[in-house]
Amino acid sequence: MPYTPKTNFPVLTKNIPTYPWGDPKDRHIVGYDEYVKNGGYVGLRKALTMSPGDVVTTVKDSQLRGRGGAGFPTGLKWTFLPQVEDINNPGARYLAINADESEPGTFKDRLLLDFDPHIMLEGIAICCYACRLTKAYVFIRGEYHHQAKVLENALKEAYDHGIFGSKGLMDGADTQTGAPFPVECYVHRGAGAYICGEETALLEAIEGKRGWPRIKPPFPAVQGLFGKPTIINNVETLAHLPSIVENGSDWFCAQGCESASGGPPSFGTKLMGVSGHVNNPGCFECDLGIPLSTLVNEYSGGMRNGKKFKSAIIGGASTGVVGPDDFDAPMDFDIGRDYNVLGLGTACPTVFDEDTDMVSVARNLANFYKHESCGQCTPCREGSGWLLQLLEKVESGDGKTKDLDLILEIATSMGAMPGTTICGLADGNNWAVRTIVNKFRDEFEARVAPTYVPVTMTVGAAANG
């Protein structure tokens, strides 16, 4: 059955010309005046007429799931914060925005930071009002030099027009609580480390420390940035808030898809960045649930040079790969369970054609994770090195079949899910490697020599002699 999208208009990219609604050649940086002219900050103005609790309820009812990779329900995360005694004087409470986007193959947040940063800033203001957060820090990756400058200019515009500042949101506008709510917002540039995409390592980096993940508990909602209650949200997650508050949760739930297996739904649109062996790589806004084949063939112009689809890293390197028979896999949050990958992740697939050497892909990914491991946990620090050594051995033709079994044994023994590491970097490493080895085992076996273990047996009198 042909795929029919539910959304016939752009939501996140309404100001960013993107196929099929616009020509990317017409893109430009959207300033404050243009953003407001196109309906910007209407969601924030409406939020200020609601009680903070009603805003949280609206986001919970929308069932918006985090767009940073894990897909955890956003409104539910907000409820983990401790209750405040005085709603107008909550004390120091923080919002940390993950704009690190260091996952290989991922460039969805960059689209918003490049051209329409005000949509995120409006989401930041809504989140701070709803959760009673007094300060927000946007942690942006060190390599995003241009994006940081665009964001800093947009933030200055927001301050100049009273969105943030000591007077209160919207230039000190009265809120449903009976008093203005002041919020300060800052841009914090990272130094360029993959591990800082992990939420507690991100907090450490903002505090000026080495970006090492923290042992949990305590969890950030209770004791986060500078030891105070903290919410951590992704750029794209926050960008959804203005339209959800403006149009309501039912409007949002009409987009995306239900779960085919009875689990939590995948509502809303999603930015999906397609790269690899396609004719027109780019970032597209699609309903969650769009088949991978539709994303490749209709949005990305099909496979490059007319070659066949072989595999795809489904949503950033850490999620693992789907095989040649999974081209029609729906891009929703059920994909992890249904197609034996870590999850949907960032929903930014890297596509491989029929000529791709999957052994080299696995070795390349292992090399990345070894380099980016912070070294704090022994299974990750040592295991990532062992995986790389074994895959280099296999790639060069010096391996044996027992090395493949050893690769899988090491991979399944490292990670937060087996309970051997503090954070999920090792999980990304092992899912990337083991999904490739398991789904393309024949390619690996063709590169190694069979392991031969001679077995001798003697019977009768000779056995005693």
H-type alpha helices, 396-446: 401-411, 425-439, 441-445
For the cut 80, the answer to whether the pLDDT of residue 455 exceeds it is no
For the cut 60, the answer to whether the pLDDT of residue 462 exceeds it is no
Q: Which two tokens stand for residue 109?
A: 């947040």
Read out DSSP for 352-372?
EETT--HHHHHHHHHHHHHHH
Q: Looking at per-residue confidence, does 86 or 2 come out higher?
A: 86
- Report the alpha-carbon distance of residue 169 to residue 131 in Å, rounded: 14
Q: Looking at per-residue confidence, does 450 or 454 come out higher?
A: 450
Q: Looking at per-residue confidence, does 71 or 281 come out higher?
A: 281
Q: Specify the residue for token string 């489904």.
A: 314
Predicted local distance difference test score (pLDDT) of residue 454: 67
Predicted local distance difference test score (pLDDT) of residue 255: 94
- Report the alpha-carbon distance of residue 405 to residue 417 in Å, rounded: 20
- Report the alpha-carbon distance of residue 386 to residue 414 in Å, rounded: 11
**What are the tens digits of pLDDT across the range 44-67?**
999 999 999 999 999 999 999 999
- Report the alpha-carbon distance of residue 170 to residue 432 in Å, rounded: 45
For the sheet containing 230-234, what is the strand order?
184-189, 135-140, 94-99, 230-234
For the cut 60, the answer to whether the pLDDT of residue 37 exceeds it is yes
Give the global pTM: 0.92
**What are the tens digits of pLDDT across the range 197-232?**
999 999 999 999 998 999 999 999 999 999 999 999
For the cut 90, the answer to whether the pLDDT of residue 261 exceeds it is no
For the cut 60, the answer to whether the pLDDT of residue 464 exceeds it is no
Torsion of CA 425, 428, 430, 431, to 10 degrees: 160
User: Which letter does DSSP use for residue 28 in this model?
Assistant: -
Predicted local distance difference test score (pLDDT) of residue 465: 47
Question: If residue 184 lies in a helix (H) or strand (E), which one and from where to where?
Answer: strand 184-189
Q: What average pLDDT score do residues 360-365 get?
A: 96
Average pLDDT, whole number, for the chain?
Answer: 92
Question: If residue 116 lies in a helix (H) or strand (E), which one and from where to where?
Answer: none
Q: What average pLDDT score do residues 265-293 get?
A: 95
**What are the tens digits of pLDDT across the range 80-122?**
999 998 888 999 999 999 999 999 999 999 999 999 999 999 9
Q: What average pLDDT score do residues 185-195 get?
A: 92
Contacts of 94 (CB under 8 A, 6+ apart): 133, 134, 135, 136, 137, 224, 225, 226, 228, 229, 230, 231
- Report the alpha-carbon distance of residue 136 to residue 93 in Å, rounded: 9
Contacts of 367 (CB under 8 A, 6+ apart): 388
Q: How far is CA 131 from CA 56, 58, 80, 83, 183, in A?
A: 8, 13, 10, 9, 12
Question: If residue 231 lies in a helix (H) or strand (E), which one and from where to where?
Answer: strand 230-234
Question: If residue 325 lies in a helix (H) or strand (E), which one and from where to where?
Answer: none
Predicted local distance difference test score (pLDDT) of residue 222: 95
Q: What average pLDDT score do residues 263-292 get?
A: 95
